[in-house]
């Protein structure tokens, strides 16, 4: 199944939690924020929030800026 | 009046900062130069941007170079052109940083990066309602600044000149009026090119100065960071000291009595 991840198509084998996606991508969950279909997912909800076919996911972090 | 505590403490929304200089984290030659510049500037608040993680490769984290036990992170909403995008970005920044502070930018024009007043006010109202501490980057317009404060902004951050331009304070009189009328701290944000610009902002009565390019883009960012620290302190002290009035003609500094040969 395909989701949209940071604007690009991304294949996942089956619906998975935000935690599982971050783990697959080797991203440290403590340093990012995640949006699922334009709504922020709280860190406490990473295990229970499930990403499904067609979902739009944004994963952001802090970068240099003014 | 000249009590050093007045000189050093910047209080925004009940939070005390030792430094009146807020520094950015963008455009440094390297992360380690940025860290050294932050140290030299004496800052205890830095801005950061919120951007998509590069999932194709592991990148070094900016946060490895910021001692967050000493330096407070202020996420921005840079490059947002609508209130909705700015609000979304602010919410993401809160989740990533675990604080409810935001440097709110709603940009109205690509070439000048001037703020969109309408969108800025709208986003301020929404975010204040959601419990954010909102520090809006705004035009140097006293009326807009008043409206932002009325909408619940914790400070107002009028620009001195366009972002990254280094032109210095283009409209000193407006900054002075904004400060005179303000019910919240006034931070001059953007436009500083060199140390004297920062000193001018502080001499006008600003509560603080926020800058990025002036330090990051200097040939020696660490030396410029120290120059900015000194300029902000000098400007603040000069403001508190109360400058002499400007006059068109000379007033002698040495006594006129006892001059030889008279």
* ipTM, two decimals: 0.95
pLDDT at residue number B8: 67
Q: How deeply is B262 buried, as exposed, middle or buried, from its count of CB atoms within 10 A (0-12, 13-18, 19+)?
A: exposed
Using the beta-carbon criterion (under 8 Å), do A5 and B55 form an inter-chain contact? yes
Is residue B167 within 8 A of residue B194, CB to CB? The reply is no
Tokens standing for A13? 């084998």
Q: Count CB neighbours of B4 within 10 A.
A: 9
Chain A residue closest in CA terms to B216: A66
Closest in B26, B55, B97 to A65, CB measured: B26
Q: Closest Cα to residue B200, out of B222, B179, B184?
A: B179
Q: Count CB neighbours of B243 within 10 A.
A: 8
pLDDT at residue number B59: 78
Is residue B196 within 8 A of residue B10, CB to CB? The reply is no
Q: What's the average pLDDT block by block, 10 residues per block, for chain B (262 residues)?
A: 62 96 97 98 98 87 94 97 98 94 98 97 98 98 98 98 97 97 97 98 98 98 98 96 95 93 82
Tokens standing for B243? 């400058």
Q: What is the dihedral of CA B188, B5, B46, B193, to 10 degrees?
A: 40
* Span A8-64, pLDDT tens digits: 999 999 999 999 999 999 999 998 999 999 999 999 999 999 999 999 999 999 999
How many CB pairs below 8 A link A and B?
Answer: 100
pLDDT at residue number B57: 80
The DSSP element (H or E) to which A56 belongs, if any, is: strand A56-64
- Residue labelled with tokens 């009026």: B177
A34 at B interface, C-beta within 8 A: yes
Q: Where are the beta strands (DSSP E) in chain A?
A: 2-5, 8-11, 16-17, 33-36, 39-41, 50-51, 56-64
A59 at B interface, C-beta within 8 A: yes
Nearest CA distance, A1 vs chain B (angstrom): 18
B93 at A interface, C-beta within 8 A: yes
* Span B161-179, pLDDT tens digits: 999 999 999 999 999 999 9
The rounded Cα B17 to chain-centroid distance in angstroms is 13
Q: What is the pTM of this model?
A: 0.93
Crossing angle, helix B221-241 and helix B195-203, to 10 degrees?
20
Q: Closest Cα to residue B169, out of B200, B127, B194?
A: B200
The active-site residue out of B103, B147, B179, B229 is: B103
The verdict on whether B147 is a catalytic residue reads no
A31 at B interface, C-beta within 8 A: yes
Domains of chain A are: 2-61 (3.10.20.30)
Q: Which of residues 11-30 of A touch B (CB under 8 A)?
A: 25-28
């Amino acid at each position: 199944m395909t989701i949209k991840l940071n604007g690009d198509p991304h294949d996942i084998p089956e619906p998975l939690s935000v935690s599982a996606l971050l783990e697959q991508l080797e991203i440290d969950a403590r340093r990012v924020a995640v949006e699922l279909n334009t709504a922020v997912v709280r860190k406490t909800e990473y295990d229970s929030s499930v990403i499904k076919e067609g979902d739009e996911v944004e994963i952001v972090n802090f970068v240099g800026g003014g | 009046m000249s009590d050093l505590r007045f000189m050093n403490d910047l209080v925004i929304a009940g939070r005390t900062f030792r430094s009146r200089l807020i520094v950015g984290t963008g455009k440094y030659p390297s992360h380690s130069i940025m860290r050294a510049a932050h140290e030299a500037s004496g800052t205890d608040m830095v801005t950061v941007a919120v951007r998509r993680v590069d999932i194709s490769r592991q990148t070094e984290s900016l946060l490895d170079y910021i001692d967050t036990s000493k330096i407070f992170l202020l996420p921005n909403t840079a490059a947002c052109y609508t209130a909705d995008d700015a609000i979304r970005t602010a919410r993401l920044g809160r989740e990533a940083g675990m604080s409810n502070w935001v440097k709110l930018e709603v940009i109205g024009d690509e070439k000048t990066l001037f703020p969109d007043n309408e969108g800025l006010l709208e986003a301020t109202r929404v975010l204040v309602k959601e419990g954010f501490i909102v520090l809006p980057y705004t035009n140097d317009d006293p009326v807009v600044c008043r409206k932002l404060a009325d909408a619940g902004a914790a400070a107002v951050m009028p620009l001195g000149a366009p972002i990254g331009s280094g032109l210095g304070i283009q409209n000193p009189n407006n900054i002075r009026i904004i400060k005179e009328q303000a019910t919240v701290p006034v931070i001059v944000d953007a436009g500083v090119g060199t140390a004297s610009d920062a000193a001018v902002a502080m001499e006008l009565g600003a509560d603080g100065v926020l800058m990025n390019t002036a330090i990051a883009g200097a040939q020696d960012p660490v030396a410029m960071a120290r120059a900015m620290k000194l300029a902000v302190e000098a400007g603040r002290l000069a403001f508190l000291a109360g400058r002499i009035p400007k006059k068109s003609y000379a007033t002698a500094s040495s006594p006129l009595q006892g001059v030889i040969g008279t």
